[in-house]
Structure 1
Amino acid sequence: MLNVPPVSKNVPPQHSPPEKTGKKVGIIYNDVKPVACQVSQELIIKLETYGCQVETATGLGGLLGYASAEKPPTLTPIEALVPEAFDGAMDFAIVLGGDGTVLSAFRQVAPQGIPLLAVNTGHMGFLTEAYLNQLPYALEQVLAGNYQIEERTMVAVSLVRSGQTMWEALCLNEMVLHREPLTSMCHFEVTIGRHSPVDIAADGIILSTPTGSTAYSLSAGGPVITPGVKVLQLIPICPHSLAARGLVFPSAEPVSVSSANPDPLVMVVDGNAGCYVAPGDRVCLREAKFPAKFIRLKDPEFFKVLREKLGWGLPHIAKPTSVELP
């Protein structure tokens, strides 16, 4: 797959990367996608020819799954998801997959501060930096040190019951809290920092980072927030009041959410981890002490990504001309 013919005229020319770099490099891949598995094996061989120490892991290691309603949630500490060989000595890691694999991979490497080069083998690839046909050039540039790091806010989400942490996870996109079924309305009590609690009646709520502002919260009517802004946003899902609208606040403010309803809630983090929340539980969010570190081969251009991936800013109507009609 490293020799896939270019499918775009924008693929930069390839040159020989530095010999025998001695770097420690990680590979995280989506093991349910054959193309990602094949590329990971070819990438191991390529990196070893450059003198790299290569460690591998699958994206499955970053998935906590969903706890059942019948059993209490199981606590897996945030740092416990880091693969054994992925330590502070690792120079960088390459993730092969789609956006879901990228989210899972950051849950695995962020506690060690390892930067990720995200290569798209999925569908949209909103969070990825390169396509498969660009991988040889991207690998050359990263091994030569020709890249920059873009840091993005991550959030630590925890479920607290009677003062004890029962479940926790890192979050790069969003935390969603709702009832089962989703169409049932619920009263959420939300406390942000030192401010007074507020009550929101809605089908659910979304607490999103700037990275997640282009995901579920965007579909629920929330604004797009550029990644460098240090904020979080609270978006009600189908609120029962015209006064219940989205709120943007500093990411340094801790958040606590509880429900006044007697029924259990469902919490989902980044779409691939979650658990049930019993009456009396609190869901707590705080800015994580370690950010997600994206490897960028050029200056990040967020508006360009919005235009290419989501069609933002494209003209949808014919523009007037100076030509006079007869």
Structure 2
Amino acid sequence: MYMLVVRNSENPEALDASVMLQTYLMSQGIASDTIDTIDCDDYDAPACDMCVALGGDGTILRTAKLMGISGTPILGINYGHLGFLANENDAGVVATVAAALAGDTTREERANMRIEVMCAGDDEAAFDARCMAPARYDGTRCFFGLNEAAFTRGASGRIVQFDLSIGGSHIANMRGDGLVTSTATGSTAYALSAGGPLVAPGFRGLITVPVAPHSLNARAIVCDPNDVVEVAVNDAVGSNEAELFIDGLAASFEAPIAKLRISRGAAPTVLLRYKREGFYAHASKVFF
């Protein structure tokens, strides 16, 4: 068995927990590797049987990106603030990991997102062909997201203008601060703050939420699991400055964003739950 441990190196408790976990895994004859979240982007993750994420929700998001659509189960243990995605650390890191190894956890399959980007000057036919092919999460034009993709106004503060289509049907020409497209997992993050609905984690579709729309009619839309969300960007000055944030991290491009195509990932992200209360009970404590 091989296990990967991802830790928030800026959190002293997570660092201490990782040392304890390393000692335990060695005593059990389990091969493992430990990396810091700041190194995730440059790390070529090997095939592993389980990932343990030591930190808050941000650490789990980085770990999910690292694992992509491999299906590797992720056991998150909370050493952060909100910890909505992670398990509590009351039992201790060793006891929680031992429970997971013994099968005393519940698997949750969470839908993730494939975000395809076309920039000004890109070949549109090549973009269409790429969107039809299996995903290549290269971090330049194709991105993985577990929470959300936030298309927002740039540093100048000018509003953005774009056409929104869902499932091949044109929805509206929109003006405002942007658009958040999230999974059910991300519905409790940016999408919720922007006025979107709280969506149970088992839902497989996407949610689109306009951000500060300049309209009386713009509303959040809950999409069918097979729907594709497409954003075609207007060439106005503010729109040319628009930015894209995926799971809270900025994606950088050498040219303005011209089009986004967002769909559900081909395979879910698997989270392991240990002695965790139900979604609605936990949400009521955190948000109400």
The interval holding the TM-score normalised by the smaller chain is 0.7 to 0.9
Runs of 4+ in 1 over 4 A off after TM superposition: 276-280
Number of the residue aligned with 2:123: 162
Structural mapping, 1:166-315, within 5 Å? 166-181=140-155, 183-260=157-234, 261-262=236-237, 263-276=240-253, 278-279=255-256, 281-298=258-275, 301-310=278-287, 312=288
Deviations 1:101-150 (A, max 9, x none): 11000001133211011011111111101215432321221121222210
Q: Distance in 2 between matches of 1:205 and 1:95?
A: 29
Read off the aligned partner of 1:253 and give its amino acid letter.
D
Deviations 1:5-27 (A, max 9, x none): xxxxxxxxxxxxxxxxxx32211
Number of the residue aligned with 1:37: 15
Unmatched segments (≥5 aa) in structure 1: 1-22, 64-80, 313-326
Q: 1:284 to 1:117 in 2, by over 3 A?
A: same
Other structure's SS at 1:240 match: coil
Number of the residue aligned with 2:107: 149
Q: 1:290 to 1:155 in 2, by over 3 A?
A: same
Other structure's SS at 1:284 match: strand
Q: Distance in 2 between matches of 1:280 and 1:237?
A: 18
Deviation at residue 251 of structure 1 after TM alignment = 2.9
Q: 1:59 to 1:280 in 2, by over 3 A?
A: closer
Number of the residue aligned with 1:134: 92
Q: CA RMSD in A?
A: 2.1
Number of the residue aligned with 1:83: 44
Read off the aligned partner of 2:10 and give its amino acid letter.
V
Query: Larger Rg: 1 or 2?
Result: 1
Read off the aligned partner of 2:278 and give its amino acid letter.
E
Q: Distance in 2 between matches of 1:137 and 1:34?
A: 19
Asked if the contact 1:30/1:59 (under 8 Å) is kept, the reply is yes
Deviations 1:234-263 (A, max 9, x none): 111111110111111113111221211242
Number of the residue aligned with 2:64: 106
Other structure's SS at 2:44 match: coil
Q: Distance in 1 between matches of 2:56 and 2:257?
A: 37
Asked if the contact 1:206/1:236 (under 8 Å) is kept, the reply is yes
Deviations 1:171-207 (A, max 9, x none): 1111111122374222111121221352111111111
Q: 1:282 to 1:214 in 2, by over 3 A?
A: same
Read off the aligned partner of 1:301 and give its amino acid letter.
G
Other structure's SS at 1:239 match: coil
Asked if the contact 1:159/1:277 (under 8 Å) is kept, the reply is no
Deviation at residue 277 of structure 1 after TM alignment = 8.0
Q: Distance in 2 between matches of 1:294 and 1:148?
A: 8
Deviation at residue 82 of structure 1 after TM alignment = 6.4
Structural mapping, 1:37-76, within 5 Å? 37-63=15-41
Read off the aligned partner of 1:146 and give its amino acid letter.
D
Asked if the contact 1:121/1:132 (under 8 Å) is kept, the reply is no
Read off the aligned partner of 2:214 and give its amino acid letter.
H
- How many pairs align? 269
Read off the aligned partner of 2:241 and give its amino acid letter.
P
Q: Distance in 2 between matches of 1:239 and 1:211?
A: 23
